[in-house]
A and B are shown apart, each in its own frame.
Chain A
Amino acid sequence: MTTTTTRMVVVVGSGIAGTAAALAARTAGADVLLVRGAAGATLLAPGAIDLESWEEASARAETSVVVPLEPEVAAVIDALGLHAVKTAPAFVATVAGVVRAARAVDRSLLDLASVPGGGTIFLPEIDREGWDAPLLARALRESRFAKDRGLAFESVPSQLLVATSERSLPDGDMAARADDPARLAQLAERLRAAIAGKKKPAAILLPPWLGVDAPRAEALSKEVGVPCGELAVALSSPAGLRFARARDRALEKAGIATRSGWVTSIERQDDACILHIPDHEPVRASAVVVATGGVAAGGIAYVPGESSLATALPRAPRAVFTTSIKTSGSLGFEGKPIGIPGSLFGMAPEALAWPFRDPPPLDRVGLLVGTDGAAAPGIFAAGDAVADEPRTFLGALRSGVRAGKSAASLSPSV
């Protein structure tokens, strides 16, 4: 598809950074095309969102002061409709048995901050791998948060599975079942049975099962008569799937075209950017936002000198990181470009990764950008693809908004 529309912004990457960039560019009046690749950090995230890292936020949570979201950030959150943003920090239980703070959480997660002090939270016993209700209950019970608020966690016998096949079904599939109102009603019935005859709990904590198309915790809570919500789980969480659905709806509503494709390179031609996608016509844009993620997502690759060679020595030293898309702009961390190391073999990995370095360059490396998010003329970057920015959902969102606005404000291509 070749296009010569005016003010065409192409966003590469469909995580929160790319989505925010696309929505912001659209709001600013540009035509937007979003090119989707594969799952990255956003799709693997547990649904608890922060602006600064959890630990910095935790230290601040004690004072219960939260920074209100900037209007442009709040607009994206509203468009997604996934997260409940409050004026106090949210708290969630994680699969590690830890209680962590967050600025806000996906509506299907149980926000422990909403549980009245002194209340009891039930965890139903379910014969599934990865969900050990007694162990989790014990770990949560002993958390400082629980002790401070006098919260009790108890595991209770239950019969939530309807078939033995559900013993080993992935969490995402279980969550998808909850999209079916009949199945949700069944789950509610079994939960009511589990709590019958006991003192009514303040909340019920569940595995990550509460919807893929949309969060279903509120609907379930209504039917059970007790607030229900998910445990926060990384990697296999349906929160990422819920994000994907919400994103698709928000993009469609905003009139943003999307397509799948692997952008291999971006070049400047006159005042436009040309994106090359294998087996497709090149795409022409006024400006591009690169939101392809960091090392974890594959947007940035670690390429020590010797990695592709069999027995020969590397021919020349080279920088140990590269972007998956060939483009102008320089990679760096801690504000400085990576540079060519004084070795044919690249940098020692001990200089790049946790726990030798904390925070690790591996996590911080990205494109160096100006205050407008520009990595090079016409090329903007957002999210984990940007060097040194906080690796958080709201941090990525904010950088996406910045990049989208800047990209949209570039004068139209001739």
Chain B
Amino acid sequence: MRSYDGPEPDVDVDVAIVGGGINGTGVARDLALRGLSVVLFERNDLAFGASGNNSGMIHGGVRYLRTNPSVTESSCRDSGYIQKIAPFLLHRIPFLLPVRAGPKGRIMFELIDAYFRAYDDYVELKRGEKHTRLDASDLARLEPGLVGSYVGGITFDEWGVDASRLTVLNAIDAEENAAKLYIHCNVDGIEQSAAGSGEAYVVKARDRFTNRAIVARAKVVVNATGAWAPITASLGKLPAGSVRVRPGKGIHITYERRLANYGITCDAIDGRQIFVMPWQNMTTIGTTDDDYFGDLDDVVATSEEVRYLIQGVASVFPSIREARAINTYAGVRPTLWQYGPLEDALSREHEIIDHAKDGAPNLYSMIGGKLASYRLFAQEMADRIARDLAPSSRCATHEKPLPGGDDVPDAFELSDKAGITPVAARRLVYRHGGRARLIAHRMKRSPSERDIVCACEPVLEAEVRHAIEHEHARTVDDVARRTRLGLGACGGMRCAARCGQILADELDTPVEEGLASARRFLVRQGRMRVPCMGPEQARQEALAYAVHASMMGKGEGER
């Protein structure tokens, strides 16, 4: 049991990073490994934004092959690096790209086949499989759920990843190399110091729960806040337009089991390519791409977007309509700004803005980018900073394993040793790799921590406590982001209150705060689940409402 005071409230560092997404944590790790002192501020939670709400795949840059093959090559190479440093986090998702029969069907098939044959040259970099070519009967045999007439299709594979875990592990590695993390701490000022004071900037922040003020004096500031980047830039009193982002909202729908053997690409009603794919122990369909003008701290999928996606997928995979959607998630892409093109046509490149041109030297903004090339983007930023602050250092992020990346245990062995079910062990190994042993050790010390808190996933009490003690989880939402607690079919009906009690226990706060956190989680999850509600899930929602009302209530002062 320890109080969450967080690190010291007054620090002098080399680099202050604002933003706890994959870019911010990636840069923090890179710089920390080079021996620089780093603080990182995140106003919500690690991976709260796009980093925690994307498709969950490391793309190999297939679509750039025609226009920009060097991007494809670096994407594949970086995917290979991510695989190397966190092998336990990636899982293979084979995709089918069916080609419709029709007047141009045969020629399209040849062209696509040729395209992927060219892509084959790169797949080895990401330890992928070469593509294969299927005729129509192969397609039907491999994926009986497909309807329509096809000349055939091709297969290719992507790496699936839990991007929230990837982000958290980057942050933990940075912290283990002396970086200080301030989560749930909102930066409210970035000021240039008086001349000659050594540190160029004073970054002021406030812990949103304890209200404690934090001050960091830094030589360099990195704005890695994604879609929030223009907001962060305004805190540094930068001129309007110095950082421009065109936020693009994307949603996904989650189903409670694997529905297809493969990922399948298909066309939505407006011709956009969408997909349905197996992802870990669920199925995901996605995604949309719409300009977003709303509150970035509160992005929620709508039933409109849900209907659009389901209609598109049902056109080739009709059994989706009978399947039980259990949740949605939504994020906003921090796309590079351009006035004119459709959302889909915008560049997915990344860019580093040096604000010296705005009168703020040593202040940088990181804009755009894709999950797959985060490490590369982080390296570019770190190289730039290290030129002055650590000139003889070199990047190690492509070689050094992320926490848990070395010596990944066998799930069955772990299951025997720890006395837990193989499924629970497998999930632990997936999320924590070698560090699953630490969690198993907790269970040996306190056998009651073997208890299942969330039965849908499953998530054990030891993992919940580990997330709070070692991974900066301070709310039930945070625990859910790290462990997937409460994100299954029951929507947290059985586990949210218990998680709240455990939080209060670990953080030594009043139990009522833990319960309030659980209630907020249930409200937030309710808003995410309802837009995809179908007939079966409506029963679950009615049940959950009744359970919530009879067991937990709305809480004092929350009506």
Residues of chain A lying within 8 A (CB to CB) of residue B542: 294-296, 362-363
- B545 & A139 in contact (Cβ 8 Å cutoff): no
- B501 & A362 in contact (Cβ 8 Å cutoff): no
Minimum C-beta distance from A31 to chain B (A): 34
Task: Give the docked Cα–Cα distance between A378 and B530 (Å).
Answer: 37
- A41 & B510 in contact (Cβ 8 Å cutoff): no
- B523 & A355 in contact (Cβ 8 Å cutoff): yes
A158 interface residue (CB < 8 Å to B): no
- A96 & B447 in contact (Cβ 8 Å cutoff): no
- B303 & A350 in contact (Cβ 8 Å cutoff): yes
Residues of chain A lying within 8 A (CB to CB) of residue B511: 97, 138-139, 142-143
A383 interface residue (CB < 8 Å to B): no
- B541 & A391 in contact (Cβ 8 Å cutoff): no
Q: Apart from A138-B504, A139-B515, A354-B545, what 13 extra A-B contacts exist at CB < 8 Å?
A: A55-B554, A132-B451, A132-B498, A135-B501, A135-B502, A139-B511, A303-B535, A310-B147, A310-B318, A311-B318, A349-B538, A355-B530, A356-B527
Residues of chain A lying within 8 A (CB to CB) of residue B304: 348
Residues of chain A lying within 8 A (CB to CB) of residue B552: 94, 96, 98
Minimum C-beta distance from B463 to chain A (A): 15
- A349 & B448 in contact (Cβ 8 Å cutoff): no
Q: A296-B543, A307-B321, A309-B321 are in contact. Are A129 and B451 (CB under 8 A)?
A: yes
Q: Kindly supply a per-residue 1/0 record for chain A positions 53-68, scoring 1 wherever the CB is within 8 Å of any chain B CB and 0 otherwise.
A: 1110010000000000
Interface positions, chain B 495-520, Cβ under 8 Å from A, are: 497-498, 501-502, 504-505, 510-512, 515, 518
Residues of chain B lying within 8 A (CB to CB) of residue A46: 550-551
A304 interface residue (CB < 8 Å to B): yes
Q: Kindly supply a per-residue 1/0 record for chain A positions 281-295, scoring 1 wherever the CB is within 8 Å of any chain B CB and 0 otherwise.
A: 000000000000011
- A94 & B515 in contact (Cβ 8 Å cutoff): no
A298 interface residue (CB < 8 Å to B): yes
Residues of chain B lying within 8 A (CB to CB) of residue A303: 535
- B526 & A97 in contact (Cβ 8 Å cutoff): no
Give 17 pairs: A residue, B residue, CB < 8 Å, sorted on A: A48-B550, A55-B553, A98-B552, A98-B553, A127-B447, A132-B451, A135-B505, A143-B511, A234-B546, A234-B547, A234-B550, A306-B321, A311-B315, A353-B533, A353-B541, A354-B541, A362-B538
Residues of chain A lying within 8 A (CB to CB) of residue B518: 96
B111 interface residue (CB < 8 Å to A): no
Partner of A296, one of B497, B502, B535, B539: B539
A338 interface residue (CB < 8 Å to B): no
Task: Give the docked Cα–Cα distance between A391 and B542 (Å).
Answer: 11
Minimum C-beta distance from A144 to chain B (A): 7
B394 interface residue (CB < 8 Å to A): no
Task: Give the docked Cα–Cα distance between A163 and B526 (Å).
Answer: 40
Count of inter-chain pairs, beta carbons less than 8 A: 156
- B321 & A308 in contact (Cβ 8 Å cutoff): yes
- B497 & A96 in contact (Cβ 8 Å cutoff): yes
Seen from chain B, the residues whose Cβ lies within 8 Å of a Cβ on chain A are: 147, 302-304, 307, 310-311, 314-315, 318-319, 321-322, 447-448, 451-452, 494, 497-498, 501-502, 504-505, 510-512, 515, 518, 523, 526-527, 530-535, 538-539, 541-543, 545-547, 549-554, 556, 559
Q: A41-B546, A127-B448, A349-B530 are in contact. Are A304 and B535 (CB under 8 A)?
A: yes
Nearest A residue to B522, CB-CB: A355
* 8 A-B pairs with the lowest CB-CB distances in the bound complex, closest first: A310-B318, A302-B538, A96-B497, A296-B542, A295-B542, A349-B533, A139-B511, A353-B530
Partner of B307, one of A55, A144, A306: A306
Residues of chain A lying within 8 A (CB to CB) of residue B318: 310-311
Residues of chain B lying within 8 A (CB to CB) of residue A345: 307
Minimum C-beta distance from B290 to chain A (A): 17
Task: Give the docked Cα–Cα distance between A264 and B302 (Å).
Answer: 35
Task: Give the docked Cα–Cα distance between A309 and B315 (Å).
Answer: 11
A193 interface residue (CB < 8 Å to B): no
Residues of chain A lying within 8 A (CB to CB) of residue B547: 234-235
